[in-house]
Structure 1
Amino acid sequence: MRLVTFRPTVNAASRLGALVGSNVVDLCKLGNIHGHPIPDNMLDFIEMGPSAIKTTTALLSVFEGNFPMGVSIPLENVKLLAPIPRPKKNIFGIGLNYVEHVAESSKALDTSRELPAEPVIFSKPPTAVIGPGDAVEHNKAITQQLDWEVELAVIIGSTAKKITHDQALTYVFGYSLMIDMSARDCRRAGQWIYSKGQDTYAPFGPCIVTADEIPDPHTLDLSLRVNGVVKQRSNTRHMLFKIPQLITDISAAITLEPGDIIATGTPEGVGAGRTPQEWVWPGDTIEAEIEKIGYLRNPVVAV
């Protein structure tokens, strides 16, 4: 199932939907018709656990695409938001999680040439999140080195504390796409949150694909373009620390909760690692894509 958060009109409240073909199905309305209450927002839906996915999938299959009037809306007529517009807490970011990115970072940034022995974890606050088509803000008074990173995002489905490696993937609700924007000249004494956590620095979406549709998240092609030019192209199989290792490591000390997001790191091809270095500026457009999940396109604007 491909889940989205959307507005049916410009001024309407956000709603929970499912992508079915070229339409968005309002799941709350669908549930009401059949006497199976479905929340109108993503976080509450995730909190319901696996039964929500099972029930909703069954309801969607009943209609075979022929939904009652007012339940299904053409995708082109809605505004997609970030799947979780306001996460409950900071996004867990993973740094230096692709071997080639470790190498390019060591040449241009103050990071080690040695592969990390354990996951490098930072965070991005909820206020960094924006959705499909929303603008990434470029404040020239703060940064002259705004960079891009395409990443697979993991959405946690149930409370996870001290989880073993073999259990880890059973705690995943689904997967999405995130662009980890980074102001490379804003790192402070090796700390990354001011560099990576500024407002609009986490484009997220366009949907969450439930985990049952991606049984192996380590086989996905991912790519990023700036103004139509390919800058990153790789596959999630090249992660240094795979998703079970990330969940095990984080949950050993920090409880993961339903709706928590882990951005799993980026492959080589970032602007800082290029010769000469490249950055994005107002007027540029960033496009990112992950196989089986979808596509994000975000313009860069001056503020």
Structure 2
Amino acid sequence: MTASASRRRLSGVLTVSALAAGSWAIGLGAAPTANASCVSAFGLGNSASCTSTLTTIAIALGSNAQAHADGQFSTAVALGDGALAGSYGWFSSATAIGPISGAVASDLGFAFAAGGSSSTHAGTSSGDLGNVAIAFGGSEAQAYGGNLNLAVSLFGNNSHVLSLGTGNAAFNVGNNNTVSAKGTFTSAANIFTDNSQVQTSPASVLSSTVNIIGHSNTVLVGNGPFAIAAALFQNGNLIVKDGPGININGLTVGGAAAVAKKKPTALSASAHHAARPAASTGGTGRAAAR
């Protein structure tokens, strides 16, 4: 083979290699668009679907998934088609896992949603501090309207769990329930019970409601303080305690109480209307979880 032929052959090989490399690079560039996924870290790689600041990280994986870590020292992770995570504040974390799931956290907040159509809000403004909201399954958990609130829903569908005020805790295991701890240092717990309402009033202080193993119960606490209402192994009952004292399955100590098959109208309806915050902006003007 002559030197001239060798040069022509080498030139041809280099040309083919360059074309192949170019095609591979184009394929890699198109991949993020096809997967509709993105990563933004420390202010780099911001896009319509992922945003971060100098101290935050945002990761979104899935078609139409979005993650926005627009606070400081915060993370936002959205995994699943249509998942949305928003972290708006200092030292906050928002994680949404599952299709059409959503999680939003403000200052010192922790929001975690796992399961299709699950939703969590841990604070909805810069004035809400140290709130925690966790939901597994297709339910909603919200902790906002004050500081140090906890809302947890585990292994149930279509339940709404709300902790609103200061130092409140709401916990649910079951389906189609409304569990609300409102006021100051109150708690509401629904455990292995379906189709029930377990709530404290917004004026409650140092009071608790409990509903354990049953279905279709309404357990309500009024203003307190030191009021406890509990339904244990009940079906279709109403348990109410307004003012200091205890009402367990209709057996009372202190104050007035009521037990009936018919659920309340005005009180129950107003309690059931636990305001679900509209798409929260976290004080940033950015739409948040559904």
Q: TM-score, normalised by structure 1?
A: 0.21
Task: With a CA cutoff of 8 Å and minimum separation of 6, indicate the structure with the bigger relative contact order.
Answer: 1
More strand by share: 2
Q: Choose 1 or 2 for highest CA Rg.
A: 2
Q: Which has the higher helix share?
A: 1
TM-score, normalization: structure 2?
Answer: 0.21
